[in-house]
Structure 1
Amino acid sequence: MALIVEDGTGKPDAEAYISVADADAYFAARGDDAWAALDTTGKEQALRKGSDYMAAVYGPQWKGERVSATQALDWPRKCVRVGCFDLPSTAIPQAVARANAEMAVRSIGGDLQADQSSQVKQETVGPITVVYSDGARQGVKYAAVDGLLGALLRGGGAGSVQVVRA
């Protein structure tokens, strides 16, 4: 099944924000061998996983509103302002497309949204014992993707606090 890429029209069946060809060019410019090793079907599957992750993690934090109730993905959006500029409601920001590619390549190594169980405080394997701090994060934080998307999220990024002068 061919990948359906959002083009800014609010497609009801879109699956990703970047095409395989554009992701190929993005990673080729960065010398990413892991992406180049995948066949087209694997790349399409990875891009779908990347956009699924973005919807689950960043979806509630995006600035603005969806353009249409029937669009499959969170973008395009209206009423999004970055710095002094209003973003067009008919475009997918480059940062969103790149973040989709980045999450896709990270999906190659495993599940992006792995189920989490209770936290392990101490673990012993053979002669090695590791003690984790209380409240240690179990999931993976993708700082590079958070950085790409920060300006498009309410509050400026994942885990940040918006400060407004009265």
Structure 2
Amino acid sequence: MTLIIEDGTGKPDAESYASAEDLAMYAVKFGVTIPAEVPAQEALLRRAALAMDGMTWKGRKSSSEQALSWPRRGVELDYEIKPDNYLPARIQYGQMALAAEIHTDDIDPVDQRQGAVIRERVEGAVDVEYAPISNKSGRLLPAAPDRPSRTQFADYLAKRGLFAVRA
């Protein structure tokens, strides 16, 4: 089933900001692994779009009828209010990065990952011990310490950076 792509008009049935073809070109450009089959690529893009809908973005939806979080009105960037139909390229790139990250998490399950090397002993044979990865929250941990999608989204999220909470 072909993806319905958001083009900045606030489509009520949009499923993605990028096409499977866009994702395939992104994977080649940035050397990330994605499934070879178009339906699997489209499924990843749909999953990434759903994850993006759970993020807190600047501004508010341009229309209550639109399916996805973007386009948005009231988005201020570099001291400039962006138009209501503004669909940043970094939202599309971020979705593709997030789709690749989701695929990495799918093929490298959390319970099979290893933490940093905390002990390495070399005598006759090499003995390596890895730190356990705690996952008490039940949420997936990132496959890598840096997530390219978060870098793409940073200017468009309502909160950015580290925040201290006073107890």
How does the TM-score come out when normalised to structure 2? Answer: 0.71
Q: CA deviation at 1:143?
A: 3.2
1:98-154, Cα deviation, whole Å (9 max, x unpaired): 11101111222345xx9xxxxxxxxxxxxx796667x88953246322221111011
The residue number in structure 2 matching 1:52 is: 50
Residues 136 and 108 (structure 1), Cα distance of their counterparts in 2 relative to 1, 3 Å cut = closer
Let me know the Cα RMSD of the aligned residues: 2.9
Q: Tell me the matched-pair count.
A: 140
Determine whether 1:146 maps to 2:144.
no
Distance 1:132 1:43 in 2: 29
Q: Which runs of 5+ in 1 are unaligned?
A: 115-127
Seq. identity, %: 29
2:77 is matched by which residue type in structure 1? V
Q: CA deviation at 1:161?
A: 3.5
Alignment of 1:1-166 (within 5 A): 1-32=1-32, 34-35=33-34, 37-56=35-54, 58=55, 61-110=56-105, 139-141=140-142, 143-157=147-161, 160-161=162-163
Larger radius of gyration: 2
Runs of at least 4 residues of structure 1 off by over 6 A?
A: none
Distance 1:132 1:13 in 2: 39
Secondary structure of the residue aligned to 2:155 is helix
2:98 is matched by which residue type in structure 1? M
